[in-house]
Chain A
Amino acid sequence: MGKVLLGRYVPGDSIVHRMDPRAKLILSFFFIVIIFLANNWQSYALLFALTIGSILAAKVNFAFFIKGVRPLIWLILFTVLLQIFFSSGGTVFWRWGPFNLSYYGLINGAYVFCRFVLIIFMSTLLTLTTAPLEIADALEKLMMPLKKIKVPVYEISLMLSIALRFVPTLMDETAKIMNAQRSRGVNFGEGSIMQQIKAVVPLLVPLFVSSFNRAEDLATAMEARGYRGGEGRTKYRVHYWQTGDTVGCAVFVAVLIILLFLRHW
């Protein structure tokens, strides 16, 4: 269980853990946008400093971040190699057909690599320090203006939080059904493609059936507990915007300003 690291919350009590999830969500998006303003090594150095500073502030084991990169390593390498071999300019070191290894290609490859690593580190930081539910809360709050155009924000957010709550349950269920079918002679992940597709049916059908049963039970239970739509409900979980959040935003804005300055240096 739990081999997927992206989206795995590690409880803790750091400044970053305590931040308002809205602030963390906004800053993560903000960070991804400003990465694209970086165009020289000084600006990348600055972004790395910001990222590493944030990680230090969160007091999370650095090994988690390296593990976060690992599943994506092939995608990263592929993109980096594309950049290296297909961009031209500067001194050309080597050429073969459409491929060429140039100075600019190498630089671009390095930048793309940095961007990937930065984005993965920062989003891993978000999911490691923020419970999925808090992210759902933050989305609800940030989507509030959409209520004006009749988007059912409360319902979407409840759906999201119930979906999140049932992810581990469904993972357990999947493991159980796989065990039962393996005991009946099914080999998952072996044989030809056709065999593998066939092996999925005894897993998916029971999973669907049990999910529908669960959904029905859950709907009954919710109704019995007085749920009649999102309107007029009060909220138990609230988040408060604190000084730390304002400071965090200020730091990121300062980085933006320096980035803009470095870009036109």
Chain B
Amino acid sequence: MDIVEIKNLTFKYPQQEVQNFNNFNLKIKKGEWLAIIGHNGSGKSTLVRLIDGLLAPESGEITVSGIKLTPESVWDVRSKIGMVFQNPDNQFVGANVEDDVAFGLENAAIPRKEMLIRVRQALERVKMWEFADHEPVRLSGGQKQRVALAGIIALKPEIIILDEATSMLDPEGRQAVLEIIRELNQVEHLTVISITHDIDEASNAQRVVVLDDGKIVQDDIPAKIFSHGASLVKIGLEPPFSEKLKEELVKQGIEVPDEYLTKEGMVDWLWQLFSKQ
């Protein structure tokens, strides 16, 4: 079943002349983890903002979880989607951690008794309950993004959109956020749409869509996309380590397989190579 369906989408920003999207089509399956990659300015953020109704298309049709996106249905659509943005500071609305998690629940008019339970559960889920009364200045970027995730978990959406949500975090913060997303995707089967330049994040996906100038230039499983090696940089993705190593091995006169190998796969392949000697 498709949870998001975009048909013949056309969009341009009012102050710009060029079309950002022209007759754009995309279907996203329920429970799927889709990574959207592309260099800065390729239209990734615009696309997810259109899906969430934060921008209005000129023409075309967007359906989210069976609801056709219209000015009337936009709040219903948004209730199905949780979004985490790039800058951890600029999406923290509450004065402290628990208030921020409650913000979305207050908007949805959830009764206070229920809120208390959901806020606590969501914060425990992202391991931030002990920080419930902390103000945002006392938190690291990674902790703020976990709070943002708790705010989403508390609202029980069907889709999570990450708009470069880990790009401003240090490696530990990034790992902690991805860990939570993996769990939500695998255990609760939430659909994940993640915009990213990070290979580790993209390798979690079941499907990768490459955008360039508002067009899908590639749409495939990660292994196929990753096998492009060094040229991945041009489409906005850090090449995986194994691909970089393959290139260097070729320079050393060693023949390497064409298909993408994970790190483990690469070690195995090298082992076989050594055993043959």
Contact = CB atoms under 8 A, between A and B. Distances in A.
Are A and B in contact, CB atoms below 8 Å, in the complex?
Answer: yes
Contact of B75 (A161, A226, A238): A226
A169 B137 CA distance: 7
A228 interface: yes
Nearest to B113: A234
B98 interface: yes
Interface string B104-145: 111111111001100100000000000000011100000000
A226 B94 contact: no
Contacts of B116: 236
A226 B90 contact: no
Nearest to B95: A133
Contacts of B155: 226
B103 interface: yes
Given A218-B90, A222-B93, A226-B78, A237 B99 contact: yes
B92 interface: yes
Interface in A193-236: 213-214, 217-218, 220-228, 232-236
Contacts of A222: 93, 103
B135 A168 contact: yes
A159 B99 CA distance: 15
B109 A236 contact: no
A226 B80 CA distance: 11
Contacts of B136: 165, 168-169
A227 B115 contact: no
A175 B81 CA distance: 36
A26 interface: no
Interface string A145-182: 00000000000000001101100110010000000000
B107 A221 contact: no
Contacts of A165: 92-95, 135-136
Given A233-B109, A234-B112, A238-B112, A226 B79 contact: yes
Given A168-B135, A234-B115, A227 B103 contact: yes
B93 A162 contact: yes
A168 B105 CA distance: 25
B91 A236 contact: no
Interface size class for chain B? 35 or more
B54 interface: yes
A214 B78 contact: no
B54 A234 contact: no
A233 B106 contact: yes
Nearest to A167: B137
Contacts of B54: 220, 223-224
B182 to A, nearest CB: 22
A234 B111 contact: yes
Interface in B70-106: 75, 78-79, 81, 83, 85, 87, 89-96, 98-99, 102-106
Interface residues of A, number: 30
Contact of A172 (B83, B96, B104, B137): B137
Nearest to A238: B112
B109 A234 contact: yes
Given A172-B137, A218-B91, A228-B75, A234 B52 contact: no
A87 B51 CA distance: 73
B93 A236 contact: no
B99 A214 contact: no
B240 interface: no
B229 interface: no
Contacts of B98: 236
B87 A217 contact: yes
Contacts of B95: 131-133, 161, 164-165
Nearest to B87: A217
B112 A218 contact: no
A214 B93 contact: no
A97 to B, nearest CB: 54
B112 A224 contact: no
Contacts of A214: 89-90
Interface in B204-220: none
Contact of A236 (B85, B89, B102, B137): B102
Nearest to A134: B95
Interface of A: 131-133, 161-162, 164-165, 168-169, 172, 213-214, 217-218, 220-228, 232-238
16 contacts: A133-B95, A133-B96, A165-B135, A169-B89, A169-B137, A172-B137, A217-B85, A218-B90, A218-B93, A221-B85, A222-B103, A226-B78, A226-B104, A228-B107, A234-B105, A234-B110
Given A213-B90, A234-B106, A236-B115, 18 more contacts: A132-B95, A165-B94, A168-B135, A168-B136, A168-B137, A169-B136, A214-B89, A217-B87, A221-B90, A221-B91, A223-B54, A224-B54, A224-B83, A225-B151, A233-B107, A235-B106, A236-B116, A238-B112
The list of the 3 closest CB pairs from A to B, nearest first, reads: A236-B102, A217-B90, A221-B91
